[in-house]
Amino acid sequence: MVQKGKKQRYSLGLVNKERLLFTDLCAMYFKRCEANGISPYTITGYKNMLKYFIEFKGTAAIYCDEIGNETFDDFKLYLKNERKIKDISVNSYIRKLTPMLSYGMELGYVKRFPYSYLKQQEVYKDIYTIEELQILLKKPEGKQCTNRFAEFRNWVICNFLLGTGLRALELIELRIKNIDLQEDIVNLAHTKNKKPRQVPIPKKLHNIMVEYLQYRGGEQEDYLFPNSFGERMPRTTLQMGITKYSKKRGVMKYSLHLYRHTFATMFLRNGGDIASLKRILGHSSYRMTEVYLHMAGKDLKQTVKYNPLDMIKTENIQIKKK
């Protein structure tokens, strides 16, 4: 009973809350995300994760107050052992679940518990080799190119991704008006962090874009890299197109994001600085940029010239004996 004159205090957790299905909580969260301008691709990722979670539980009738640390750990084991997902991907998956859980905790429907992730061995992600890039970036010859828009467009896209370091989702949102060949700048209006940015266009890409725009035609508001009907190209269509393009040339790497990794690595190998790279990639912190650094053995070998041991000269040094 509350004493007269004193306000009643409630602890965090389930306070005067009716039981709520987790699916209903997620529907509330998706609506909030949409209202706050969260990317549709991010929301789709959350929805897909909810499907996996329902599949894990075997029913959609999951109440928020039934979810706790044990459930969370069992779900991680389900992804790892049943779905055979690698540890690094398991962590990526459950990071799409935790926002819904945090939202439920914030509203008091889910009991608070600490999240934990799988410990994983970090590995260096492979990038495109020089030999592979030479094959992928070689211009299609004659009629093979000009009579097939998709082939020519995909060749330009490969050059564009390597020459700018853009994300695939940024690339498909580009319109012709976003390309300024007078200043050699790509003006990005649709980015992951919702902040516009500019990316420089190198000389070789400038020449490619001049030819492409002459061949492509279109108005300033048209998409720069459309599908065959002139419409915005879905990411899946882009991925399938680049996969087919790469396999046709005998290259068994066709990750769109790998071009971004390759851009970052080669940018630094060629003498670029990490501050400029951070701005080009559109990262909010250096920690994010460092993910793209791939110091292979031969790169580390080049750093031997900075080793302090080789800088200390010991020749003709007289040691005074006491």
The CATH number assigned to the domain holding 64 equals: 1.10.150
Q: Is 294 found in the same domain as 160?
A: yes
Is 190 found in the same domain as 48?
no
Q: What is the pLDDT of residue 167?
A: 93
Q: Is 314 among the domain residues? A: no
149, pLDDT greater than 90:
no
Q: What is the pLDDT of residue 234?
A: 92
- What's the maximum distance between 2 C-alpha atoms anywhere in the chain? 90
Same domain, residue pair 245 and 148:
yes
Whether residue 13 has pLDDT greater than 60:
no
Residue that terminates a domain, selected from 107, 140, 175: 107
Give the sign of the dihedral formed by CA 28, CA 21, CA 90, CA 102. Answer: positive
Does 176 lie in the same domain as 240? yes
Q: Quick one: average pLDDT of 145-156?
A: 81
**Looking at the domain assignment, is residue 290 inside a domain?**
yes
CB 258 within 8 A of CB 129: no
What's the whole-number mean pLDDT along residues 94-107? Answer: 93
Q: Provide the CATH number for the domain around residue 138.
A: 1.10.443.10
pLDDT digits (tens, 9 = 90+) for 207-242: 999 999 999 999 999 999 999 888 999 999 999 999
Same domain, yes or no, for 137 and 172? yes
Domain membership of residue 81 (yes or no) is yes
What is the per-residue pLDDT for 284?
Answer: 83
- Is residue 265 in a domain? yes
Kindly state the percentage of the chain with pLDDT values over 90.
Answer: 57
Instruction: Judge if 254 and 143 occupy the same domain.
Output: yes
Asked if residue 44 lies in contact with residue 96, where contact means CB atoms within 8 angstroms, the answer is: no
92 in a domain, yes or no?
yes
Q: Is residue 39 part of a domain?
A: yes
102, 213: one domain: no
Number of domains in the chain: 2
Residues 78 and 215 in one domain: no
Model confidence at 104: pLDDT above 50: yes
Give yes or no for residue 248 having a pLDDT over 50.
yes
Q: At what angle do helices 203-216 and 149-164 cross, to 10 degrees?
A: 150
pLDDT higher at 269 or 155: 155
Cβ 231 vs Cβ 129: under 8 Å: no
User: Does residue 73 sit in the same domain as residue 170?
Assistant: no
Q: Is the predicted pLDDT of residue 15 greater than 60, yes or no? A: no
Across the chain, what does the average pLDDT equal? 85
Shared domain for 188 and 272, answered yes or no, is yes
**C-alpha 193, offset from chain centre:** 11
pTM recorded for the entire structure: 0.69
Helix ranges, the chain (H): 22-35, 40-57, 69-77, 87-94, 98-107, 130-136, 142-146, 149-164, 168-171, 203-216, 235-248, 256-269, 274-281, 286-290, 297-302, 308-311
| Residue 125 pLDDT level (bands cut at 50, 70, 90) | low
Provide the residue range defining the domain that includes 95: 22-107
Q: Tell me: do 145 and 99 sit in the same domain.
A: no
41 found inside a domain:
yes
Q: Which tokens in the block code for residue 271?
A: 């003498």
On whether the CB atoms of residues 11 and 111 are closer than 8 A, the answer is no
Give the end of a domain, one of 76, 107, 138. 107
Q: Is residue 260 part of a domain?
A: yes
Encode pLDDT of 156-179 as tens digits: 999 999 999 999 999 999 999 999
Instruction: Determine the Cα angle at 285 with ends 280 and 289, to 5°.
Output: 55
Which carries the bigger pLDDT value, residue 46 or residue 3? 46
Q: Is the distance from CB of 108 to CB of 13 less than 8 angstroms?
A: yes
* One-letter identity of residue 108: G
Residue 8: the pLDDT is: 43
Same domain for 83 and 140, yes or no, is: no
Residues sharing a CB contact under 8 Å with residue 153, sequence separation 6 or more, in sequence order: 212, 216, 225, 241
d(CA 284, CA 271): 22
Lowest mean pLDDT among 141-145, 226-230, 289-293: 141-145
Q: What is the number of residues in the chain?
A: 322
The whole-number pLDDT of residue 243 equals 96
If you write DSSP's letter for every residue of 86-147 in order, what string do you get?
Answer: -HHHHHHHHTTTHHHHHHHHHHTSS-------------PPP---HHHHHHHTSPPPHHHHHT
